[in-house]
Amino acid sequence: MLTFEQIKELIELVAERRLDGLRIERSGFTLKIQGQQSRRVPAPAAAPVVVESTPQVATAASVSAPVSMDQGAPEGETEIPEGAYILNSPIVGTFYRAPSPDSESYVEIGSRVKVGQNLCIVEAMKVMNEIESDVDGVIVEIFPKNSQPVEYGERLFAIRTS
């Protein structure tokens, strides 16, 4: 069986190399990664993943490439504020704005943040991964809603750097 990190590396490899796909079979476990060419984003293409435990599908996820600021946002997505730093999800999981349902959100739009400050949690495989800011600045956009699934490379926050 492959670890989560190994699967993540394979997904990144398929996206970076723009492969048509990849299939690995090991001890009754099958991993299929299907690559796709994106029409809007020339950078790494999206690569949907289907993980099977023969004969049934166990889970599904996909990878999407970040959108560069000069191309505009894909249809149905919020425009990226001009000159903002975009913090993307490092993993596939569930986005949470607070450490628990009863707690206040880590940050709100307008919150000043510093490098290393916790901004949210992305839960993956029952592990709570705290996502920290890479830059100092002010939160100008929070893209996913609380408890929303997020994909690898999906935009989480727009931060106006200071």
Compute the C-alpha angle 102/106/107, nearest 5°.
125
Lowest mean pLDDT among 4-8, 114-118, 128-132, 135-139: 4-8
Type and span of the H or E element at 47? none
Domain ranges of the chain: 4-61, 70-161
User: Model confidence over 52-73: pLDDT tens digits?
Assistant: 443 333 333 333 333 333 344 4
Q: Cα dihedral sign for 129, 135, 136, 141?
A: negative
pLDDT at 99: 92
Q: Name the average pLDDT for the chain.
A: 75
User: Model confidence over 30-50: pLDDT tens digits?
Assistant: 777 776 544 334 444 444 444
pTM (predicted TM-score):
0.53
**Residue 47 near residue 36, CB atoms below 8 Å:** yes
pLDDT exceeds cutoff 50 at 92 = yes
Pairwise pLDDT comparison (130 vs 78), residue with the higher score:
130
What is the fold, at CATH topology level, of the domain defined by 70-161?
A: OB fold (Dihydrolipoamide Acetyltransferase, E2P) (2.40.50)
Q: What is the mean pLDDT of residues 5-19?
A: 77
Q: How confident is the model at residue 80 (pLDDT cuts 50, 70, 90)?
A: low
pLDDT at 85: 92
The reply to whether omega before 55 is within 30° of 0 (cis) is: yes
Q: Distance between the two ends of the chain, CA-based, in angstroms?
A: 45
pLDDT exceeds cutoff 80 at 110 = yes
pLDDT exceeds cutoff 80 at 136 = yes
Residue 93: φ, ψ to 5°: 175, -160
